[in-house]
Structure 1
Amino acid sequence: MSLPPRAVIVHRATELTELVARHGTRQQAGFFLAGRGRDLAELDERHQAQQEALATVSAAIPLDWRRAVAERNDLDRFGFGPEDVVIAVGQDGLVANVAKYLDGQRVIGINPEPARNPGVLVPHEPDAIADLLTAQTVTERTMVAASTDDGQHLIALNEVYVGHHSHQSARYKLSTPDGLPERQSSSGILVGTGTGSTGWCRSAWQERRSPLALPSPTDPMLCWFVREAWPSPATGTSLTEGLLKSPDTLTVTAESDLVIFGDGMESDTITLTWGQRAELGISPVKLHLVV
């Protein structure tokens, strides 16, 4: 006998919740803001909008479905099942945060604040949730994968970053799919998808006035950029951007301690020590975003 579907509501703590947690009480949080010429009104409004959206979503889940709630900071410890329907209530980045822990589950993006959030990945209003729960029409968005020679692995919806864990220079040997190698010292490497090409990768692309044609979210292609490569007698700057198609990969061999993380989730990282190798390319897993 198969299990009924499980609706997993994913959200992140509001600014009001985090501020009260930091200062101990609501009154103390208000005092902290008042001393800086601000008050809790805006945070109250945003907190209330999210709470109302969460209540609307929860009320629409069928009674015979199972349900669970996961906060953003707990995603790396949450066990998603193949029958789950994931409902992300929040900003667009929340979908990216949860996507790296999924394997084909449908994701519904709910926007609690349409006046503030662009809604690229959370295009739906809370009142639409009843029909969306059973919708089967999805768009498949390309994701990026990083794998190391000791079996570590992660995927990301926007981009993967490879670099030093602090602001020090990252030192490594970079090898492109056509076999060109180069030792580099840089601020790190970004390998991004079409979804991510509107964010961090686009910033790198725009700043250097790159001629690359960035991929779209559904294109089976990645873009990559080396940030602030430093020329020296031992390091070069000739391999600093490009595109990757499956099954091509970008190879990074560490010559200093490095970290790899996806979509800004620095609490969930891969570590590389001197001599270790990482391969970066298109993930076989795609985000299934309900449309």
Structure 2
Amino acid sequence: MGILSNNLANKLPVIHVVMVAVVMLSSIVYGAGNFLEVFEPTFGGSRVRVFGPGNTQLALTLDRGSGSGFRSKREYLFGRIDMQIKLVPGNSAGTVTTFYLSSDQSTGRHDEIDFEFLGNVSGQPYTIHTNVFSQGQGNREQQFHLWFDPTLNFHTYTILWNPQLIMFKIDQTPIRVFRNYENEGIPFFPKVQPQRIYASLWNADDWATQGGRVKTDWSKAPFSAYYRNFNIDTSINGAWRTHDLDANGRMRLRWVQKNYMIYNYCTDWNRFSQNLPPECKKYGV
């Protein structure tokens, strides 16, 4: 998973926002998939709990002993993956909930596509951390706050990955698009290594909340996050294969990035004092 250094995390502003609930209609119908058929635990033992009719819901728990996680049994090379998640409520400072894709990390040259949800003290917004790795190289972080409280209800988080782009969506609203500019001499894009779907809940209070200044309050433990209604589309004729932003998608993306983006690696001249990553020029920076 992509982790910002403490120095970088300390640069990120602490922003107080008013949570506004926005109802977005989805064109996707989410089936209640069986977690036991598609996924397997990675750590945490009994802290990974599958329940509900047809094993259609999953809870991850973090306590002083351990966090927990799961992954898909299969690997996927491109596709659209949707997961509905309800994040840790209340004082979630120090906790990190994740939903991401990753190839085999033991090679040292892995690919990865990250959603990470950095908890905060009660009343402060979650930070949504996104990152992209290619051949073991990352440092492509963008971070956002949300226009709703992600702990009150389930919301749909989407990673759409095709040979042309990676799109991060929340309730069908695009928040980030990372494009493949290989044909223009910029080879940074994950496109060869198949990846598994991962999710986890763990303690990262050395960096996760306000640069590590706010620690996990273990008196609030155990902490739990909930997953349901996953959708994995790798079909040959799936719309994901050629999906891109339409006019409405471009408008929504601009709205999110104008109002809720709190960090963009492509504008961090302190971090990249010599040269910004090459794709930043293509993004208009």
TM-score (norm 1): 0.25
Q: Higher relative contact order by CA 8 Å / sep ≥ 6: 1 or 2?
A: 2
TM-score (norm 2): 0.25
Decide which structure has greater helix share. 1
